[in-house]
Amino acid sequence: MIINFIIKKLIRLKNSSKVLKIFYYYHNFIHDKKLGSLGLDFTKKKTRFDLVQNIIEIKNYKKYLEIGCEHDELFKHINCEKKVGVDPVSGGTVRKTSDQFFSNNTDFFDCIFIDGLHEYKQVKRDILNSLKFLNKGGIILVHDCLPNDYFEQAVPRCQWTWKGDVWKAIVDSRKSKEIDVYTCYADHGIGVIIKRPNRNILEIPNKDAGSLKFEDYFHNHKNLMNIIEYENLIEII
């Protein structure tokens, strides 16, 4: 209980306006190369609410897991026979960090939606842990994979609209032969991971995904992220 209380306090501190402003100035003066915006527009694309529910219904999934529920923005809209939501602060059904949850979990799921801490190493762990508990024919979806500009993906977080460097975890996953990975052009970018042989392996000579810079993503995001439209996603699954 004490550990969870401390985690809540730290999360709220990191997301406070004063702390965000400090990190904004840090990124602005130290890291930003003024690359501008990619111009990604999600206003006419599928929302995660529709996308997740449609997949559950098309595949007749029975068990849904959500990592990172916060105010249950998505969780409360999902209709599935069994739902489990994990968040250390609010929402869902389990008050733990994802690491704590997976360390004791014995259940398997058909659809897992990852929307927890938007930092590469944590997202990578969430993906690897989710793969261990994914039913045959299941799918993993990862939110916030397509940042529009440097500040949306800057770590530490420096503004309210924040996708973090989740995109690096998708790039990393695309290098695996055992999983098939895409990014759907919908709702700020939704990573799609299917446990089957990779149909389009990404090769990045002498580069680890964690060492990639926003500049790499900015100039090569379509290839790195394997971007597809919603209609193509439905065909693929």
37, 53 in Cβ contact below 8 A? no
The edge-to-edge listing of strands for the beta sheet with 63-67 is 82-86, 63-67, 109-114, 134-142, 190-194, 180-184, 227-228
Answer for the pair 183, 221: CB distance below 8 angstroms, yes or no.
Answer: no
The Cα–Cα gap between 91 and 99 comes to 17
Token pair, residue 193, equals: 């991971």
- CB-based contact 188:143 (threshold 8 Å): yes
The helix, strand and coil proportions of the chain, stated in percent and rounded to the nearest 5, come to: 40, 15, 45
Residue 16 has pLDDT above 60, yes or no: no
At 111 the pLDDT is: 98
Pairwise CA distance, residues 56 & 80, whole Å: 7
Reported as a pLDDT band with limits 50, 70 and 90, residue 14 is: low
Q: How many Å apart are CA 19 and CA 7, to the nearest integer?
A: 16
Using a pLDDT cut of 70, give the percent of the chain over it.
Answer: 85
Structural domains in the chain, CATH included, are: 2-236 (3.40.50.150)
123-181 pLDDT, tens digit each? 999 999 999 999 999 999 999 999 999 999 988 886 878 899 999 999 999 999 999 99
Omega of the bond leading into 147 within 30 degrees of 0 (cis): no
Tokens 């004063």 label which residue?
18
DSSP-assigned letters across all residues of 103-160:
HH----EEEEEE-S--SHHHHHHHHHHHHHTEEEEEEEEES----SSHHHH-SS--SS
Q: What is the pLDDT of residues 74-118, one digit of tens each?
A: 999 999 999 999 999 999 999 999 999 999 999 999 999 999 999
pLDDT digits over 186-219, tens only? 999 999 999 999 999 998 876 788 899 999 999 9
